[in-house]
Amino acid sequence: MKCSRYLIRDVRVILGPSGLSGGRCDIEIVGERIADVRPFGADTPADTTVIEGKGLIACPGFIDLHVHGGMGADFMDATEESFRTIGAYHAAGGTTSYFPTTATESPQAIFSCIDQAARCREQGIGGVEILGVHAEGPYMAPRKHGCHDPGFVREPSREENRGYLDRAHILRRITCAPEVPGVLAFIRDASREGIAVSGGHSDATFVQTLQAIECGMSMITHLYSAMSTITKDGPFRVAGMLEAALLDDRLATEVIADLRHAPKELLLLALKTKAKDTVCFTTDAMRGAGMADGVYTFGSQRGTKAVVEGGVARNLDNTGFASSTVRMIDLVRNGIEALGLNLESSVRRASLVPARIADADRRKGTLEAGKDADIVLLAEHPRLEVRLTMARGKMIAQALV
């Protein structure tokens, strides 16, 4: 089969080759890869479809490390249809690759979601590339379950651990609480299989978090949400997972930069404290994203209920947020408008930084020859909006005018 060739003409490239970044460029795409990024105006090679960029911004595709669903679907539905629906919805928000994320439910429900993700990855269903599955739980702290069903929070068992380890080809990340009995040993086994272990939904002390790092834990799940912080033991203050995450740069972290889960000052604190390229944006979006206000389940249709009002998802008892309703483009916009980042550094936290954290930066995260053709075209005015999304050389969302 002949491979497709595109030329995206006259775009302002963000995170492109050094010297060309920020300048007017043409991007040549052959098959799944970027063949060349060069100054605007060169000849069009034969057999090439031209996309007129007309001065739009071209940036690397967004990478969402933690997403549950959107448009009425949740990955835990474990159907091809749900993967297709969620992919199309997030592609229109600039996502070109992601980690479908499971909810804390029965082992069978979690395994069937993971297995469906493997099939969908194989067949390219949903357009957005599945980098791997992220299992959120079930080994979490009973008091820090958030919107996950507390009835399914549990300790590791040999049999269930085996189920995860045997799926390491597709399960690439798991969130757990290191202080739960049996979890440290599981962290060792999972890391050995190449599964990134992420601390979260946890009551771990500072010291317990450091022990988990020694066992292989390398990430933190939605910094600030559902995690221990400073407590008092008589007159003494004891630091928690949050402080360990801020202080120790062996831990990379995601933040849900929807300005609800954490206010702007806490997001800025994380960006200021942590080493360069260790903090990325994630959506943690749920079924109600893109939908009218109403009641939606979090996780499968048997999952817990959450109410979405004015685009904000909360638990029914209003004790916390139940994931979010944003897409990656919303977070890039928040980075600029609320956090004061410039365009390149906000885009970087949605593309190159998550690529590095997910160990996918050899082929993703910048617009350079040889990398995957994961490209988002953005209009800057009147506000930042996605006009075209291309994943590995295939158009997966388009709103060019």
- Mode of pairing for the β-strands spanning 171-176 and 73-74: unpaired
Which secondary-structure segment (H or E) carries 241? helix 241-247
What mask, x for binding Zn ion by CB under 5 A, covers residues 135 to 164? -x----------------------------
Q: Output 17 or 311, the one with its CB closest to Zn ion.
A: 311
Q: Output 74 or 361, the one with its CB closest to Zn ion.
A: 74
CB of 396 to Zn ion, least distance (A): 23
CB of 284 to Zn ion, least distance (A): 4
Q: Output 64 or 136, the one with its CB closest to Zn ion.
A: 136
What mask, x for binding Zn ion by CB under 5 A, covers residues 234 to 273? ----------------------------------------
Piece of the chain touching Zn ion by CB under 5 A; list 7-15, 39-47, 134-142, 196-204: 134-142
Piece of the chain touching Zn ion by CB under 5 A; list 4-12, 88-96, 212-220, 277-285: 277-285
**DSSP classification of residue 19:** T
Number of residues this chain uses to bind Zn ion (CB under 5 A): 2
In a 3-state reduction of DSSP, which class is residue 249?
coil
Q: Where are the alpha helices (DSSP H) in 95-199?
A: 107-123, 158-165, 183-192
Nearest to 102 by CA among 122, 81, 82, 88: 82
CB of 263 to Zn ion, least distance (A): 19
Please list, residue by residue across 102-138, b when 16 or more beta carbons sit within 10 angstroms of its beta carbon and e when fewer do: bbbbeeebbbbbbebbbebbeeebbbbbbbbbbbbbb
The residue number with the shortest CB distance to Zn ion is 284
CA of residue 131 relative to chain centroid, distance: 10
Does the protein bind Zn ion through residue 284 (CB under 5 A)? Answer: yes
Piece of the chain touching Zn ion by CB under 5 A; list 15-23, 196-204, 280-288, 348-356: 280-288
CB of 136 to Zn ion, least distance (A): 5
Alpha-carbon gap, residue 225 to 219, rounded angstroms: 14
CB of 297 to Zn ion, least distance (A): 14
**DSSP classification of residue 275:** P
CB of 341 to Zn ion, least distance (A): 24
How far apart, in Å, are the Cα atoms of 102 and each of 2, 41, 46, 175, 301? 38, 46, 45, 10, 13
Q: Where are the alpha helices (DSSP H) in 319-376?
A: 328-337, 343-348, 352-357
Does the protein bind Zn ion through residue 277 (CB under 5 A)? Answer: no
CB of 108 to Zn ion, least distance (A): 20
Q: Output 284 or 374, the one with its CB closest to Zn ion.
A: 284
Strand spans (E) along 240-336: 252-256, 279-282, 294-298, 304-309, 312-315
Alpha-carbon gap, residue 34 to 301, rounded angstroms: 40
CB of 68 to Zn ion, least distance (A): 6
Alpha-carbon gap, residue 379 to 350, rounded angstroms: 17
Residues of this chain that interact with Zn ion (CB under 5 A) are: 136, 284
